[in-house]
Amino acid sequence: MTSGGASTAVSTPRVGRPTWLYQLSKAGKLCVPAMNVNDSVTKQKFDNLYCCRESILDGLKRTTDVMFGGKQVVVCGYGEVGKGCCSALKALGSIVCITEIDPICALQGCMDGFRVVKLNEVIRQMDLVITCTGNKNVVTREQLDRMKNGCIVCNMGHSNTEIDVASLRSPELTWERVRSQVDHVIWPDGKRVVLLAEGRLLNLSCSTVPTFVLSITATTQALALIELFNAPEGRYKQDVYLLPKKMDEYVASLHLSNFDAHLTELSDEQAKYMGLNKNGPFKPNYYRY
Amino acid sequence: MTSGGASTAVSTPRVGRPTWLYQLSKAGKLCVPAMNVNDSVTKQKFDNLYCCRESILDGLKRTTDVMFGGKQVVVCGYGEVGKGCCSALKALGSIVCITEIDPICALQGCMDGFRVVKLNEVIRQMDLVITCTGNKNVVTREQLDRMKNGCIVCNMGHSNTEIDVASLRSPELTWERVRSQVDHVIWPDGKRVVLLAEGRLLNLSCSTVPTFVLSITATTQALALIELFNAPEGRYKQDVYLLPKKMDEYVASLHLSNFDAHLTELSDEQAKYMGLNKNGPFKPNYYRY
Amino acid sequence: MTSGGASTAVSTPRVGRPTWLYQLSKAGKLCVPAMNVNDSVTKQKFDNLYCCRESILDGLKRTTDVMFGGKQVVVCGYGEVGKGCCSALKALGSIVCITEIDPICALQGCMDGFRVVKLNEVIRQMDLVITCTGNKNVVTREQLDRMKNGCIVCNMGHSNTEIDVASLRSPELTWERVRSQVDHVIWPDGKRVVLLAEGRLLNLSCSTVPTFVLSITATTQALALIELFNAPEGRYKQDVYLLPKKMDEYVASLHLSNFDAHLTELSDEQAKYMGLNKNGPFKPNYYRY
Amino acid sequence: MTSGGASTAVSTPRVGRPTWLYQLSKAGKLCVPAMNVNDSVTKQKFDNLYCCRESILDGLKRTTDVMFGGKQVVVCGYGEVGKGCCSALKALGSIVCITEIDPICALQGCMDGFRVVKLNEVIRQMDLVITCTGNKNVVTREQLDRMKNGCIVCNMGHSNTEIDVASLRSPELTWERVRSQVDHVIWPDGKRVVLLAEGRLLNLSCSTVPTFVLSITATTQALALIELFNAPEGRYKQDVYLLPKKMDEYVASLHLSNFDAHLTELSDEQAKYMGLNKNGPFKPNYYRY
């Protein structure tokens, strides 16, 4: 195998999901080994969870100056991105509920203190509607019709598919661009819905990405490429791989000094007791963090 | 295969880890298929994270009546149990720092707002020392010697190995049982360390387990046994398996009505777009929640 | 005046409010000077807010072992006690709403992320009903009739007046004592409501008071008595007084070393700029903290 | 007296404190009645606490794009503004400590989970230094000299006095304007300190004020003017007054519908029991909220 043909599912944050890589692989059409960097823990938990926890606030403030305290918010999707958004908004005094299709994530939402509802049940009362599902048409025209005046709608999830923006480009509705990335869509009765970034990703369009997150994601990608390049013939076939855990741990360790964090080292006796190598990896592959 | 020989790594909360199952399997000595129920998401995230978030408070209050506000706490280990303990104590006004050996968990600790330290750096200042590592001798006699008067020491992790309690059974120290599960260990200079449950699990010894958690864990175990019993010949070999994701999701779905949670259903179009079956499973096996 | 006749509105936590002192004073029947210790900041903010933040959890766990995560809770009254209860329960994953009569407290509730509702709107869905109003008949028999099976009802507020317990002592309802301080009140259709401490104060009946809070309250009371005893003739008339701010500050300063807290001292230049004495008092009398 | 001469201590948020009014009054030089609107509860708790909770995040993001998670922060001053800043930063994963001169506020800081330190003890480790004291020279040149490279310094408190910016205008230091409101001050060894808004108020210079807060403050000011204008001869003398509590409550009640908040009304029996008028005011003047 030549490393020249290797591929990493590098992505600007969360835009390109590796689904297509798995589809290519299943179809037998993947002609090089690929690393699914997107689903490595240093990407999922740090970029998606911790970064979105901040960028949802930043993106909303820069575009709308909305006060979070007391606002009724529905977050569609309680994956890592949704968890980040919910955590931040709850902490700042918003009253947050969520929608979910996955019962496990829904039960996590319950335990974290969020009502799990169907969008239709709450859409009339909401001040803010945020999508983080990775799906399409999560917010439909019918739901947009039922929103109250001044409701803010934005997408933190995936591409520009989550809100059915196309349905809003219709003759009975007027669009008014009030500032960059902010449109008022105006109904015949004067109701205004505030649409951010025309339904594209708020965190990429209306906020900035901290250098810490860029660093952690770029390091992960670089290490994946080095691994593919250096790997002995035969370690990787024409398939999709997750980054070896030891490399995930290495990425994390490179960023600890930034926080003046001091790791504890296992003693020989402790390493033996745990059945671990003192230098890691420290967790089984299925560990969830 | 006969189901009679199947084994589930059922455990009272977190006592029996499935490490030995994997060791048996590696050694070729596992003579039946086994389900690693302990590491299913409904066990790890619910029992370990959410339940310990409550039982750390409950166990400490019932034994010591300590006020959490303003207390300096070190939590050793930032896995699910440590995350639960830290989250609860931080919310109630304790000043919490953590120790970790795994750089990924350590970086999560940073992002969650906890200083990552070595135990020796902080041991003199702490009001509370809590172990959740699954390891042995995490708190040594030397560290016990350096604790301040009145320091409370307890274990939320694993068995009774984490605190070196044996080292405290020595002639120069006096033990005084002040109430059930609470010992004062008294140094020659009069210093007292408050040891809970003689270093055994605080949440099992000194607090109760909510029926919700018992139900979710018992359901997971029952489904695992049913799966092993019903599985067609050949689906499971003499190895250790994780519960199929669809069953994890089923366990969760059975508990949603308890919280009046309303799941959203995928439309046909959405299911197709996501490449999902409308009834799940909704996530790839490596998904971390 | 002789100090022997002086009175301090000392109270076990929140039981005796100083209303009667003000009524006596208004009626000209107060025959000695009195200090309203109950409303000093070291009592209100520390005992009521911070202590109740912990005792609501403790009292509920010791009596019912309820899991807080995901529970629907209504807290009646958003004063200091209500704020403490709401903050703790929200942090542990309960979904909390409040009732209020005072628009300022209600608006604080909004900003803190709690829906402000009338009890009748939500009573059917609640898992937990907590009263902290200082008023009477806040939870009526009609509302008790509408609670769902298993609903827990308790009082953190004042005396035993908040829940109309008398109305439950009626022939069609059966009382079952399930453990000390816990009664199941059983409706003819089998519905059970879990009544704690027969409607008396949960934090006094079913939890303990941390020594820190006892110390801060007792210090305040002792200083008030010393002040009344030592005050020169004429400083205090037959009226109700609040503790001088400098004494409040002194009480607080005596407890700081407990937390290894290091105060900053004003420079001469800074004190002059602020118009303050370097030793306090540091705030005007109307300051709210 | 004619109402035309009345004065309200109206202020853009927190700039003009009413100290000078009290000084004029003390000196007998106040020639009209004045309302101290700045210290009304609807100003202090809403503008200072809840608004700053959001504007600290907004101001920092817009100017520096800093990630909050894991950052070491010291907040100087734990009044309403400091409480708001600390609460927001803690919620987003910063590790926050505080400085205080007032033992009561310091003890509140302890109970809220913040280490209380002297600035000199921590200055070398901090990533962010935020002043909210209302004082002068809280951050001195000597402390600026000891900050680490990249430390961000800003002022949320009062005027432009808190950071000794003048001391930075000295020949050995280079100033580099990196964007509007953001200066890098560069030491001879290359160290850079990031100074925001040249030490002026971050929330006024670098963030926006939500319309909700403008509304609540403007309503309070307008009501104060109406009260002074309408008051019968003699109600107000040439002195400084706080807004009557009933007006504070009225301001709050006007903003509740914005949050779909539903107030509970006292029954006649309850009002009598509490000794309250059913329409308020609901609290004694010294109530702290």
Q: Do C137 and D263 touch (CB under 8 A)?
A: no
Q: How far apart are CA C57 and CA B182, in angstroms?
A: 21
Q: What are phi and psi of D76, to 5 degrees?
A: -90, 110
Does C14 score more than 70 pLDDT? Answer: no
Chain C residue with the nearest C-alpha to that of D101: C264
Residues D196 and D219 in one domain: no
Note the pLDDT tens digit of each residue in D92-120: 999 999 999 999 999 999 999 999 999 99
Q: Which of A174, A190, A206 delimits the end of a domain?
A: A206
Residues B184 and B136 in one domain: yes
Q: What part of C 53-72 touches D (C-beta under 8 Å)?
A: none
Confidence at residue D126, expressed as pLDDT on a 0 to 100 scale: 98
Does C16 score more than 50 pLDDT? Answer: no
Q: What are phi and psi of C277, to 5 degrees?
A: -80, 140
Note the pLDDT tens digit of each residue in A110-148: 999 999 999 999 999 999 999 999 999 999 999 999 999
Q: How far is D235 from chain A (nearest CA, A)?
A: 37
Residue A227, H or E segment: helix A211-230
Residues A141 and A62 in one domain: yes
- Could you tell me if residue C279 is inside a domain? no
Confidence at residue C213, expressed as pLDDT on a 0 to 100 scale: 87
Residues A225 and A105 in one domain: no
Question: How many distinct structural domains can be found in chain B?
Answer: 2
Higher pLDDT, B147 or C10: B147
pLDDT over 70, % of chain A:
94
Residue A284 forms contact with B (CB below 8 Å)? yes
- Could you tell me if residue D119 is inside a domain? yes
**Are B231 and B32 within 8 A, CB to CB?**
no
Residue D116 forms contact with B (CB below 8 Å)? no
pLDDT over 70, % of chain B:
94
Strand partners, B87: none
**Are A74 and A123 within 8 A, CB to CB?**
yes
- The interface pTM score, or ipTM, of the predicted complex is 0.92
Note the pLDDT tens digit of each residue in A142-185: 999 999 999 999 999 988 999 999 999 999 999 999 999 999 99
Residues B103 and B222 in one domain: no
Mean pLDDT value of segment A254-277 = 96
Tell how far CA A250 is from the center of its chain. Answer: 22
Mean pLDDT value of segment B156-172 = 95
Residue C258 forms contact with B (CB below 8 Å)? yes
User: Side chain identity at C245, as an amino acid letter?
Assistant: K
Tokens of C228: 């009344």
Q: Which of C186, C206, C226 delimits the end of a domain?
A: C206
Note the pLDDT tens digit of each residue in A26-51: 899 999 999 999 999 999 999 999 99
Q: Which of B169, B190, B206 delimits the end of a domain?
A: B206
Contacts of A207 in chain D (CB under 8 A): 61
Average pLDDT of every residue of chain C: 92
End-to-end Cα separation, chain D, in angstroms: 34
- Enter the pTM of the model: 0.94
Residues A75 and A175 in one domain: yes
Confidence at residue A22, expressed as pLDDT on a 0 to 100 scale: 87
CATH number at residue D60: 3.40.50.720
Residues D225 and D268 in one domain: yes
DSSP letter assigned to residue A139: B
- Could you tell me if residue D139 is inside a domain? yes
**Which of A42, A104, A268 to probe by mutation at the B interface, max B CB count within 10 Å?**
A104
Residue B108 forms contact with A (CB below 8 Å)? yes
Which residues lie closer than 8 Å to A122 by C-beta, 6 or more apart?
A: A72, A74, A97
Q: What are phi and psi of B183, to 5 degrees?
A: -115, 140
CA distance readout (Å), B264 to A119, B255, D52? 8, 15, 37
Note the pLDDT tens digit of each residue in B221-253: 999 999 999 999 999 999 999 999 999 999 999
Residues A128 and A264 in one domain: no
Chain B residue with the nearest C-alpha to that of A288: B288
Q: How far is B109 from chain D (nearest CA, A)?
A: 8
Nearest CB among D101, D104, D275 relative to C265 is that of D101
Residue C103 forms contact with A (CB below 8 Å)? no
**Domain boundaries, position C34:** 10-41+212-274
Residues B177 and B261 in one domain: no
Confidence at residue A97, expressed as pLDDT on a 0 to 100 scale: 98
Average pLDDT of every residue of chain D: 92
CA distance readout (Å), A289 to A45, B80, B105, D119? 8, 7, 7, 36
Residues B190 and B88 in one domain: yes
Residues C74 and C199 in one domain: yes
Taking phi first (over 0 means left), then psi (-120 to 50 degrees means alpha), and beta for anything else, what does residue C16 get? beta
Residues B107 and B15 in one domain: no
**Are C91 and C146 within 8 A, CB to CB?**
no
Q: Do B135 and A108 touch (CB under 8 A)?
A: no
